Chains A and B, each alone.
Chain A
Amino acid sequence: MASRIALKDPQREQRIYGARTVTALLLVMLFLALLLGRYYTLQISDYETYRTASERNRVQLQPLPPKRGLIFDRNGVLLADNRPSYTLSLILERVDDLDGTLRELAALLPIDEDDLQKFHTRARQRRPYEHVPLRFRLDDEEQARIAVNRHRLPGVVIDAQLQRHYPFGPLFAHALGYVGRINSQEMDRIDQAEYRGTFHIGKIGIERRYEEELHGTVGYQTVESNAHGRVLRVLERFDPQPGRNLVLHLDYELQRVAHNALAGRRGAVVAIDPLTGGVLALVSTPSFDANLFVNGISSRDYNALRDSPDVPLFNRTVQGQYPPGSTVKPMIAMAGLESELVDPAFTVPDPGWYRLPGDSRRYRDWILRIRGGGHAPEVDLKMAIAESCDVYFYDLARRLTIDGMHDYLKDYGLGQRTGIDTTAERPGVLPSTAWKRRAMNQPWYPGETLSAGIGQGYMLATPVQLAVATSIVATRGEHRQPRLVRSLGDEALEAPLEEPVIARGENWDAVVEAMREVVHGQRGTAKAISRNMSYEMAGKTGTAQVIGIAQDAVYDEDAIDERHRNHGLFIAFAPLDAPTIALAVIVENGGGSSAAYPIARTVIDAWLAGEAG
């Protein structure tokens, strides 16, 4: 009825308004309660969850990779170093125009399709504030070009990392080995926590053998970082323990001399300090630049190394198994003396050949080709060694029997790994009847004993084995495992002692005197190197018939003659009275020992000169 008068009714309006206000207020309270409930849930009920999430946001655990231990030679020459390596990376959230930036960068430095593809793959996996690497190993000029243009390239950064560097490249590649990027197999093997933030691991050689010591212990820091990943402050820090430095027995100068002496040849030199077992030089040629492997060798470089007929990746000092030839004669002579089958006065008639009883076949002495006869009508031990008389040793071998020789020679470390502290060492072969039955399932034939008596046939030895055997003679029986590493940090390492070779002094005297005769005697096989020698050296030459070295070498048709020549070997120690160096030299296809003993002279000269100076 009020509506019909069309007059406003303030009281009614106020009443309605009052009711609406109450309704509105109730709604407001309801919604406020809803909000309050929500904030209560977040801040009280789920507090722990969100507190954890916020801590995880804020605090990050960053690994601090340890610095890899350095490697020095015995005189403190740095052989393996850590150098900063520069990586070009992009921070995507700061890059305005990615394609444009990549084009600009490609104009400044070489970036190939491979780099780009890997970059895009990485970019997809990382957060916008993380560094995405584009190019590794920038050189100085590339760095400079980026630096000059940086103002035009927002989001482009250069990151520095420490990376292994081998200052002498090929010179120590076989001695040290190298590090490389950790692969998936190694990933499974290692303690991944220890390697967080580390990208490299020792692959072979000392780097591999002493990986644990060189690597060190990873450190951590908890850092507070903002949403852009920028570290604002370090909350807690556990410093990494750097890897321990290695000091080697190796002598840079001696290594260089030996390497140069072998230049252009395929061969190996292993020199040992007989008193300590320390390896003074460990050279295998040809070699390669170990730095190539640090960041992943290109397949082109790798194929070139792998397919080279000279097999530069093959570490001849520990992997090369060669017939030792006459270099085993001093050891066999010791066996004869000790077993009293011979004495220094005992002689063997030498017509230039030898015949087994009841066998018509003639086993020839190498001298037969040269003189048409033997070394002398009767050959004694001294002459047999000095002139490398095969007939004497055919006779002795027959009487020792193959198993008798085996038992004596194994004491010199032949046929088993020396235990040198590197990787990939091969054991060689020290034949016996048991060995032949096991390895070839065949009986032993008497003629094979004669071959073994002059270090041919089945017998194989590595250069490091020969150097150890030489060292045993030089010390008159002391047998040490050869060691490359002299000390780990401050801790000096002793070369472990093996079972010594027990022999009578006069027998050592006789054999050492005979070995002196090899170098200094009128008719010594190595008398060529005795000229102007200011010290006395004991040595033994060897010539090994090539039956192919134990490896998958690809033989080049044009080179086939050269590669069928005999290997030249030489073992020696000096000075005679108080030996400080014992070595073994092998020159593959050198024709004869004359390729090897000049190298021994050069190396020993350098060593003794260095010692004197």
Chain B
Amino acid sequence: MPSLRDLERDVARALLGEADGAVLASILGDGLSPAARLGVYRNHVFSTLTDALEATYPVVCRLVDPRFFAYAVDRYIRACPPAGPCLFEYGESLPEFLAAFPPCRHLQYLPDVARLEWAINRALHAEDAEPLDPTRLRGLSPDGAARLALRLHPSASFLESRWPVDRVWRANQPGADPDGIVDLDAGGVRLEVRRLGDDVVFRSLAAATYAFRSALAAGGDLERAVEAAQAAGPEFDLTQTLRELLDDGLVVGSSAPRSRMGATDAN
């Protein structure tokens, strides 16, 4: 008699395609053979996960055709099964999988389109957060300001691509001009994706603004974000950029150094 833990592990493996005699011996067929009974569950797992991935990646599915998509995600589900029960959380690593999947490796823009769709999915389901009251940033010492980390809205993410993935995405929405042509050589984009109210929105940012915001999103302090922005564009205006960030309601918290006046700073 296997332990429950062993049984669950064996059933999970069997569902992903590696059925063996031991697990079949534990299954009551109830009118079907144990293998056929297991097949009912396997079919359900694959059709549910395929539907979930298609819902998260509709543009990728459209670009490669639903039949190819079903084939690719069948391989993906076997290689990277879900780690948790929530369907909307499944599929984060699909872009990397597609980038390395030989049958579509020549579609170089495809993984970045998938990354954009994942960012949209992530933004849609991110928790809510209230914008920071900007007056709380008053009275910082020079060291305190440089080491200030601004926490951005949980729905916000930043995505850079060599390809115009925003245009690819728009051209593949329901109701888009069917004769519209996207020039893949039109140049890359730097996108900010976030939720605004109940809608997910994205827009392209100038190089310096993108560098500034994505450095903050990665947890960098103001000094680091300023360095990144100055490296990206010499005309960078910190006051203006900071002000736009606050006006966009994207800052939801700050971790100022403990000593606001910098008097007892050990670093």
A and B bind: no
Chain B positions within 8 Å of A, measured between CB atoms, are: none
